[in-house]
Amino acid sequence: MSKFWPKGGLPGILHHYVHPPRPSHPSHQLTKPQTETLVTFESASLTKRQPHSLLFVGGLGDGLATTSYMADLASALKDTEWSLFTLNLTSSYQSWGLGHLDRDTTEIAQCLEYIKSYKTDKFGPGKIALMGHSTGSQCVLHYLSQLNPHTSCPSFDAGIEHITRPALDGAIMQAPVSDREAIFWVLKWGIGDTSAEKAREVYYEMERLAKEAVKEGKKLDTILPLELTSLIYPANTPISCRRFLSLVSPESPQAPLEDDLFSSDLSDEQFGRTFGRIQEIGLLRHKLMVLISGKDQSIPDWVDKEVLLKRWRKATDHEGKYRIWDEVHSGVIPNASHALSNDDQAEPRQWLVERVLGYLKTAVERS
């Protein structure tokens, strides 16, 4: 049992949010229906009317309610008109090394459509907001900034069926970090029992193998050797060559790949192609709230967090032309670790929860 969750857990409802896929290809008839794995858990009051919904998306390795401060959020929301949802994606738990942001955000959109329908039938129209932690923040930004629906059908996932993503009444990003800069940190200092020298040796071998595999243009992903990836990433986690390159983005900052959204060395022009497109795509009815953890272990010490927030805000608001960035509730969480999971994180978690509640209140007031 997690030390952050009360003994006995919290009450809620488990929902299946995707109907079985239509067998558009003979091979689809042999696959397990998605509805058996794509589920969302609603932490809801048994007595309170809760027409509004906050959908939470965790980071790499997360699944249903695995982020530490989820218990704090669920407890704080139980006496409000908001219920908290967390979900399983195809890329949840140890499958993150095989996923990609288009599929993640398509499945998030399916979940949001289900929640919207479910809540409308039960309470009438309500507000719906999306919150991401760590790589969940990449999902939030990808959701808000890319064409709607997505247009790409990559060869390694040719069967993906994109849907039109619904508009949001709120969007929150917490701990948006650069996986590329986090790897730089590992290459400088090492990680666990892996020395910095060994980490660099392993990293460059993985990069070589990944580039060779992707260059061949295979229709299926090639998995990097676990004996290599387990020295840097969580042990026994399959990571494809394509996803590895997307996360470490070797050609950045000049040509960042899909997952390289938050690196501090990206240009203002590049941030304009992500944060700057939120207004154009038009899926956010309210403002964007962004929280960086003040003592995030994944952010190298050479990154100025306050300066980075200002650059993101500048890109989002088009240098003041729009007012999309939430100045009141965004900021750096004092003394917060990446997932606010350390034993000394009670105050940072309270700080985060108060900001989120304040933000959701403004989302309801905005009509």
pLDDT tens for 244-256 read: 999 999 999 999 9
User: Torsions phi, psi of 284, nearest 5?
Assistant: -115, 110
pLDDT of residue 36: 65
CA–CA separation, 154 vs 160, rounded Å? Answer: 9
Q: What is the DSSP string of 14-64?
A: EEE-SPPPP--SGGGGGSPPGGGT-EEEEE--SSS---EEEEEE--TT--T
pLDDT of residue 239: 97
Domain 12-20+30-177+267-365 -> CATH class: alpha beta
CA–CA separation, 336 vs 287, rounded Å? Answer: 23
Q: What is the residue extent of each domain of the chain? A: 12-20+30-177+267-365, 180-248
Which 3 state secondary structure label does DSSP give 68? coil
**Percentage of the residues of the chain whose pLDDT score is greater than 90:** 82
243's CB contacts (< 8 A; 6+ apart) are 96, 97, 98, 99, 100, 221, 259
Overall pTM > 0.85: yes
Find the helix or strand (DSSP H, E) in which 333 lies: strand 331-333
Q: In what order do the strands lie in the sheet with 52-57?
A: 12-16, 39-43, 82-87, 52-57, 128-133, 170-174, 288-293, 331-333
Return the minimum-mean-pLDDT range out of 23-32, 94-103, 170-179: 23-32
pLDDT of residue 65: 87
151, two tokens: 């247009």
Does the pLDDT value for residue 192 go beyond 60?
Answer: yes
pLDDT of residue 25: 45
Asked if 85 and 61 touch (Cβ cutoff 8 Å), the reply is: no
Residue pLDDT, tens place only, 103-144: 999 999 999 999 999 999 999 999 999 999 999 999 999 999
With cut-offs at 50, 70 and 90, classify the pLDDT of residue 304: very high
With cut-offs at 50, 70 and 90, classify the pLDDT of residue 4: low
Does the pLDDT value for residue 19 go beyond 90?
Answer: no
pLDDT of residue 6: 65
Buried b (16+ CB within 10 A) or exposed e, 311-330: bbbbbbbeeeeeebbbeebb
With cut-offs at 50, 70 and 90, classify the pLDDT of residue 33: very low
What separation in angstroms does the CA of 261 have from each of 79, 268, 283, 286, 298? 35, 12, 19, 22, 15
Does the pLDDT value for residue 359 go beyond 70?
Answer: yes
CA–CA separation, 60 vs 96, rounded Å? Answer: 6
Mean predicted confidence (pLDDT) in 191-215: 96
Does the pLDDT value for residue 161 go beyond 70?
Answer: yes
pLDDT of residue 5: 61
Residue pLDDT, tens place only, 45-72: 888 899 999 999 999 999 988 898 999 9
pLDDT of residue 21: 47
AA identity, residue 230? S
Q: How far is CA 280 from the centre of its chain?
A: 21
Asked if 67 and 46 touch (Cβ cutoff 8 Å), the reply is: no
Q: How far is CA 92 from the centre of its chain?
A: 11
Does the pLDDT value for residue 10 go beyond 80?
Answer: no
What separation in angstroms does the CA of 247 have from each of 251, 314, 337? 11, 25, 21
Q: What is the residue-averaged pLDDT of the chain?
A: 92
Asked if 324 and 287 touch (Cβ cutoff 8 Å), the reply is: yes
Which 3 state secondary structure label does DSSP give 301? coil
Best CA proximity match to 290, nearest among 72, 103, 140? 140
pLDDT of residue 35: 47
CA–CA separation, 33 vs 195, rounded Å? Answer: 43
Does the pLDDT value for residue 30 go beyond 70?
Answer: no
User: Torsions phi, psi of 83, nearest 5?
Assistant: -105, 155
Residue pLDDT, tens place only, 217-247: 777 889 999 999 999 999 999 999 999 999 9
H-state helical runs in the chain: 70-77, 101-123, 135-145, 179-189, 196-215, 226-229, 241-248, 268-272, 278-281, 305-316, 346-365
